[in-house]
Chains A and B, each alone.
Chain A
Amino acid sequence: MTGPMTRPVLAACAVVLVLLALVPVLESNYLIDLFNEIMIYALFALSLNVIIGYSGNVSFGHAAYFAIGGYTMAILLTTYQWPLLPAFAASVAFSFVASGVVAYFCTRLTDIYFAMLTLAFSMLVWGVAFKWRSMTGGDDGFVGVDVPAFIAERVPFYYFSLVVIAIAVAVLWVICHSAFGRALLAVRENPVRAGFVGINTRLMRWWAFVVAGTFAGIAGSLFAMVHRGMYTESAFWPESATVLIMTLLGGMYSFFGPAIGAASLFLLERLTNEYTEYWPLVLGTILLVILMFLPEGLAGLAKAVRRQILRVR
């Protein structure tokens, strides 16, 4: 994992932030929408990596918390006409509670059993969203989210989204690089030894799950606002698979890797869709290449390339 916030990392973050803040200057609605969605998926993938990269478990049901955050936000803003801040706080809180409950059960298990249980819970969430038509709109989707007037326009919403995501990523960074993050790494590397040195491994894994779920909920609530709707497919298992692939593509052993993976996969999908309908074929090939040749994803590749260059010099 990356060490403490070094100067180059800080500088790179600042540059990215400034570039993102400058996107609306280009006056293209398309680019504003595009970058807004990329940022949301980047946060989604970063949140998943707390479970995968840091605690060393694979979740096949991360979309559940994205959907819970999104549906809560959509329903509170629209059906109950809550103001933005309480609705946002409630959706974060609800994602926290929901992932806490699920984590209680999932962290009793490890490996494939853990993965299967996360999948089972996410299908439960999907089932609720699908069947509870009066509340969620069922498979018609929850269409027409009332976004508060002051961020209803494209550019103000983009900046709102940018600020929320920047803060969320910063908080995630701090969490992952705190003593808690290091303890998680110890659990990932050797749970038995970590247990013997006095780390409550199950509690650590519980917290990792809850942090991941909560931040996925934040990404989901922004998604509901940017699309002005929430759909059951956001809770369905392929969505969990997509974010998993984003994380793997970017590199799960790097903090920022999943964000790069999310951006790359999202852009690739958009561009592929313009020229061909065979996106699944492209996706399958990407997955194959990662698994066979890039186990540490794009971030790992970048590191290897840098090492090579340094050696040549």
Chain B
Amino acid sequence: MKRSLLVATAAAAVLTAGAVQADEIRIGVLYPIAGTGAVYGEPAMHGHNMAVDELNAAGGILGKKIVSFARDTKLKPAAASAAAKELITKDDVNVLVGGLSSAVGLAISEVARQEGVVYVATIPKTIKLTTEKRHDHVFRTASHTDFEGDAMGQIVAKLGLKKICDIQLDYAYGHDLAAGIEKGLKRHAPDAEKVLDLRVKLGATDYNAFISQIMGAGCDGVTSGLWGSHFVNFAQQGSPFGLFNQIKYISGGEIASHEIAGKMKGDYPDNVWSNTYELWYHHHDPSHVAFQEALAERSGTKETAMWPVLAYIGVKFIAAAAEKAGSMDADALAAALKGMSISTPVGPRTIDPETHQADTGQFWGPMVKKEGVDYRVMDPVTFIPAVIAE
């Protein structure tokens, strides 16, 4: 025991040596890069690295080179917390960026609070991050469940739906989104009545019981946050019963993103309205053309994913704030981020000085068939800004 501890001390001491270089800007990056989360984390890293490379090519931040230190969060909050701490204490990072899943976002944010380091949450959507768990050093550039719920309320009103079934995953995001939809319906479609509340286990693969319940309830609209493979399974099992001919399916689970449409191809059902942060084929902002081309080259495919832009925007906010603050000091950086506006490939973004939440709107629309391609595309694309009209 004695010997192993001695060895450990020596090893750790060697590993910590050589840290602290004042002539570079150190960014701690936290995405799930292995395992189930890698489908999201890997594209996110593309976006992150792209922003860093662009900034470095233009002289870095405050004239210093940017160096990223990436750690795998494994989609687990305790692992993310340990990784975030290590990035701060061992790698001396000036700022933390990233996070995927609500729990991971909250855990990283707690480390940022303790250690007094700025954390920019690029993907976690839990409302708590910018409400009850907000602190001086946390900022969010992703959307959140109240914005999504509000947009879904608007779509329900637009389509004139009257009886709504809600089906959500039974974990934090699902509960938060259900609450957001409730508020959105009250605001925009007060006539719509919620007739059914369904909760599906995270990771579920069998949806038959839920499908028959929805079809039996006689609703004309289904609101949902089933994301990724959850939606893929749900749609494949619901289609043979004609579920999607009977209802309009409105989802906040970003199933309009090309990674889902491109994966499902002909299996993608009719009557789906959903959202996405970015579409490779839709140039809302002129700068998107160049962004998408560069991303396509980096990811090795013309039809790029939605996640990179989120990571990209996070880095750009940090760079802009550092330039404005003139330093990487956490308090100065936080002060600069409050109320900061930047232009991004998906339009301008501003961080609210009070809530620390960026006005991250999303693209919403129906997913339709298109001549010449075997996957569905969103048409027409509507940008719903992140504004909740009280």
> For the complex, is A143 an interface residue (Cβ under 8 Å from B)?
yes
Chain B residue nearest to A257 (CB atoms) is B1
Whether A278 contacts B34 in the complex (CB less than 8 A), given A19-B6, A267-B8, comes out as yes
**Chain A, Cβ-Cβ closest to B79:** A233
The distance in angstroms between the C-alpha atoms of A156 and B359, with both chains bound, is: 41
Which chain A residues border B88 with CB–CB below 8 Å?
29
Any A CB within 8 A of the CB of B175: yes
Which positions 30-81 of chain A face chain B at CB distance < 8 Å? 30-34, 37-38
The stretch of A108-116, A176-184, A207-215, A258-266 in contact with B is: A258-266
With contacts A141-B106, A229-B107, A233-B76 known, is A30 near B172, CB below 8 A? no
B128 to A, closest residue via Cβ = A140
A140's contact among B2, B13, B90, B172, by CB below 8 Å, is which? B172
B290 is an interface residue with CB less than 8 A from chain A: no
Residues of A with C-beta under 8 A to B107: 141, 143, 229, 231
B109 in the interface (beta carbon within 8 A): yes
Q: How far is the CB of A298 from chain B (nearest CB, A)?
A: 8
Interface residues of B in 1-31 (CB under 8 A from A): 1-2, 4-6, 8-9, 11-13, 15-16
Chain A residue nearest in CB terms to B106: A143
Q: Of A19, A144, A231, which one neighbours B78 at CB under 8 angstroms?
A: A231
Query: Is the C-beta of A89 less than 8 angstroms from some C-beta in chain B?
Result: no
Query: What are the residues of chain A within 8 A of B85 when measuring CB–CB?
Result: 33
In contact, B89 and A30 (Cβ under 8 angstroms) = yes
Which B residues are CB-close (under 8 A) to A140?
A: 102-103, 106, 126, 128, 172
- What is the bound-complex CA distance between A140 and B78, given in angstroms? 11
The docked-state distance in angstroms from the alpha carbon of A300 to that of B266 is 59
**Are B78's CB and A34's CB within 8 A?**
no
Contact at B175–A234, with CB atoms within 8 Å? no
- A227–B85 CA distance with the chains assembled, in angstroms: 9
Which residue of chain A has the shortest Cβ distance to B92 in the bound complex?
A: A30
B1 close to A30 (CB less than 8 A): no
Note all chain B residues with C-beta closer than 8 A to A141.
Answer: 77-78, 103, 106-107
From 12 to 39 in chain A, residues with beta carbon under 8 angstroms from any chain B beta carbon are 12, 15-16, 19-20, 23, 26, 28-34, 37-38
Complex: A23 Cα to B38 Cα, angstroms: 36
Q: Is the CB of A277 within 8 A of B33?
A: yes
Are A229 and B110 interface neighbours, CB within 8 A? yes
Q: Which residues of A contact B133 (CB under 8 A)?
A: 143-144
CB A134 to nearest CB in B, in angstroms, measures 11
Asked if B72 is an interface residue, CB under 8 A from chain A, the answer is: yes
Residue in contact with B77 in the complex, picked from A31, A144, A233, A279, CB distance below 8 Å:
A233
The answer to the question of A133 belonging to the interface, with a C-beta cut-off of 8 Å to chain B, is yes
Indicate the member of A228, A263, A277 with the most B CB atoms within 10 Å: A277
B390 smallest CB distance to A (angstroms): 26
Q: CB within 8 Å of A: which of B112-129?
A: 113-114, 126, 128
CB of B81 closer than 8 Å to a CB of A: yes
- The answer to whether A19 touches B9 (Cβ under 8 A) is yes
Give the complex CA separation of A273 and B86 in angstroms: 11
On whether the beta carbons of A263 and B6 are closer than 8 Å, the reply is no
Q: Mark A143-176, 1 if CB is under 8 A from B, else 0.
A: 1100000000000000000000000000000000
How far apart sit A138 and B102, CA to CA, in the bound complex (Å)? Answer: 11
Q: How large is the interface on B (under 10, 10 to 19, 20 to 34, 35 or more residues)?
A: 35 or more
- Which of B1, B6, B35, B77 interacts with A231 by CB under 8 Å? B77
Interface residues of A in 213-231 (CB under 8 A from B): 227-229, 231
Interface residues of chain A: helix, strand, loop or mixed (majority): helix
Could you tell me the distance in whole angstroms from the C-beta of A200 to the nearest C-beta in chain B? 34
Measured between C-beta atoms, what is the minimum distance from B107 to chain A in Å? 6
CA of A86 to CA of B57, assembled, Å: 57
Contact status of A234 and B78, CB under 8 A, knowing A19-B6, A140-B103, A228-B114: yes
Bound: A113/B99 CA distance, A:
40
Cα distance A271–B16 when bound, in Å?
12
Q: A30-B16, A30-B90, A144-B110 are in contact. Are A231 and B8 (CB under 8 A)?
A: no
Residues of chain B lying within 8 A (CB to CB) of residue A138: 171-172
User: What's the least CB distance linking B70 to chain A, in Å?
Assistant: 10
Q: B217 at the A/B interface (Cβ < 8 Å)?
A: no
Which residue on chain B has the smallest CB distance to residue A38?
A: B8
Chain B residues whose C-beta falls within 8 Å of the C-beta of A12 in the assembled complex: 1-2
Q: Which residues of B contact A277 (CB under 8 A)?
A: 33-35, 38, 72
Is A94 located at the chain interface by the 8 A CB criterion?
no
> What distance in Å separates the Cβ of A152 from its nearest Cβ neighbour in chain B?
9
Chain A proximity of B162: nearest CB distance (Å):
31
Residues of chain A with a CB closer than 8 A to B78's CB: 141, 227, 229, 231, 233-234
Chain B, Cβ-Cβ closest to A256: B1
Q: Select which of A28, A38, A279 is within 8 A of B16 by beta carbon.
A: A28
The answer, yes or no, to whether A193 is at the interface (CB within 8 Å) is: no
Cα A298 to Cα B3 in complex, Å, equals: 12
A139 within 8 A of B: yes
Task: Please give, as numbers and ranges, the residues of chain A lying within 8 Å of B126 by CB-CB distance.
Answer: 140
The residues of A with any CB-CB pair to B shorter than 8 Å are 12, 15-16, 19-20, 23, 26, 28-34, 37-38, 133, 138-141, 143-144, 227-229, 231, 233-234, 256, 259-260, 263-264, 267, 270-271, 273-274, 277-280, 298
Q: 27 A–B contact pairs at CB < 8 A?
A: A12-B1, A16-B5, A19-B6, A29-B88, A29-B89, A31-B9, A31-B12, A31-B16, A32-B89, A34-B12, A139-B102, A139-B103, A140-B106, A140-B172, A141-B78, A141-B107, A143-B77, A143-B110, A144-B110, A144-B113, A228-B111, A229-B77, A267-B11, A270-B86, A271-B11, A273-B83, A279-B34
Apart from A28-B12, A229-B107, A279-B34, what are 19 other A-B pairs with CB-CB below 8 Å? A19-B5, A30-B89, A31-B9, A33-B85, A37-B82, A138-B171, A138-B172, A139-B102, A139-B103, A144-B110, A227-B82, A228-B111, A259-B1, A263-B4, A263-B5, A263-B8, A264-B4, A267-B8, A277-B35
Query: Would you list the 7 A-B pairs with minimal beta carbon distance, nearest first?
Result: A277-B34, A30-B89, A29-B89, A30-B90, A231-B77, A140-B172, A143-B106
